Amino acid sequence: MNGLLGYKALLVLSLCLAIASIVVPLMILSIAFRAGSDMVWAFLAEGVLGMAWLIVVATGLVRYRARGLWMLLGAPLILWPAIAGSVLFK
């Protein structure tokens, strides 16, 4: 039972970090746009949240092996800037 609880906690944490990696930079960008300040903080926040997500996913994959692959559900959310950049700047 303890292993299942740890797996569910990591899965929820993975998805929460993936969602936060979209929401937090967008909030920072909207504040920065209105204030006329630099947008570096949004990219920094996205990088930090992305690295935290990567650590959680790597931990899940090492600890739970094939079941840990479900933690990759947040990958499209984490990778959206790279995908958008490749589409916009092609």
pLDDT in tens, 2-50: 677 799 999 999 999 999 988 998 888 888 777 766 678 888 888 899 9
Q: Domain residues of the chain, as ranges?
A: 2-88
pTM to 2 decimals? Answer: 0.81
pLDDT band of residue 79 (cuts 50, 70, 90) is: confident
pLDDT of residue 90: 67
86: pLDDT strictly greater than 90:
no
Rounded distance between C-alpha atoms, residue 68 and residue 25, angstroms: 27
Q: Decide: 29 and 72 in contact? Cβ < 8 Å.
A: no
